[in-house]
Amino acid sequence: MQTAPMTPNVPGPKAPPQTAAVSPEETASLRQIVVAVVACVLGERRDHPDVEDCTHEALSRAIEGRSRLRDGEPLRPWVIGIARHVALDALRSRKRTRRVEARMETASDDTPTAWLDLVPDPSPGPEERTASAERATRLERALGSLPEEQRRALVMFHVEGLGYQDICKRLGVPLGTVATWLARGRRLLAETVGE
């Protein structure tokens, strides 16, 4: 009796999930709904070019992503959600474009506007810097008014980043003492600084 050579059971490439084709009638009815939703969100007429662009984009996404639709899930609400999100993205894009254009219009016509000039400066303003400096001065005074042990424990914990156990070893005191010093020191600092 001859036996056939055994071939290893190696899985082949997976076939793409089967999706039901959308009929032309269904596509036409969905298109009308998508146009209405997009026009409503954008606040434009149905024949506006942005409405047409968003409608096309929404239907393309729906057709491409049809395989993600769960069995038995209705198609219309899913497509309406896609249309709404596409229209909202278009609105956000419009707002960004308007802000950039407004900034460029306010710039002098004589000097070319560099893109870097349009980026807001993230550094703190003069008021914030002054408040921060005043707070640092109050904190320094408050830290100086603490007993030596509490001050050393606070600096080791908050500045040097040491843990309670390491502070205990360095200062040669029990863990409970370090915890008490840190708690009391924080409370005194908070009261003194006013936070």
In this structure, what CATH number is given to the domain that contains residue 63?
A: 1.10.1740
Arithmetic mean of pLDDT, 168-180: 91
- For residues 87 and 163, membership in a common domain is answered with no
Q: Is residue 185 part of a domain?
A: yes
pLDDT of residue 8: 47
Q: Is residue 60 part of a domain?
A: yes
Run of H or E including 136:
helix 126-145
pLDDT of residue 10: 46
Asked if the model's pLDDT at residue 28 lies above 50, the reply is yes
Which of residues 26 and 156 earns the better pLDDT score?
156
Arithmetic mean of pLDDT, 167-181: 91
Q: Is residue 104 part of a domain?
A: yes
Domain boundary, last residue among 84, 109, 134 = 109
pLDDT of residue 12: 44
pLDDT of residue 117: 65
146: helix, coil or strand?
Answer: coil
24 CB-side CA count, 13 A: 0
* CATH code, domain with 172: 1.10.10.10
Asked if the model's pLDDT at residue 76 lies above 80, the reply is yes
- For residues 168 and 95, membership in a common domain is answered with no
pLDDT of residue 165: 92
- For residues 97 and 29, membership in a common domain is answered with yes
Look at the chain and report how many structural domains it folds into: 2
Cα distance between residue 160 and residue 91, in whole Å: 49
Q: Is residue 117 part of a domain?
A: no
Arithmetic mean of pLDDT, 30-53: 89
Please write the tens of the pLDDT for every residue from 94-139.
888 877 776 666 655 555 556 666 667 677 778 888 888 888 888 8
pLDDT of residue 13: 43
Q: Is residue 132 part of a domain?
A: no
- Calculated CA dihedral for residues 166, 168, 171, 174, nearest 10 degrees: 180
11 CB-side CA count, 13 A: 3
- For residues 99 and 57, membership in a common domain is answered with yes
Asked if the model's pLDDT at residue 7 lies above 60, the reply is no
Q: Is residue 98 part of a domain?
A: yes
Q: What angle do CA 114, 100, 87 make, to 5 degrees?
A: 145
Q: Is residue 56 part of a domain?
A: yes
Range of the domain at 103: 24-109
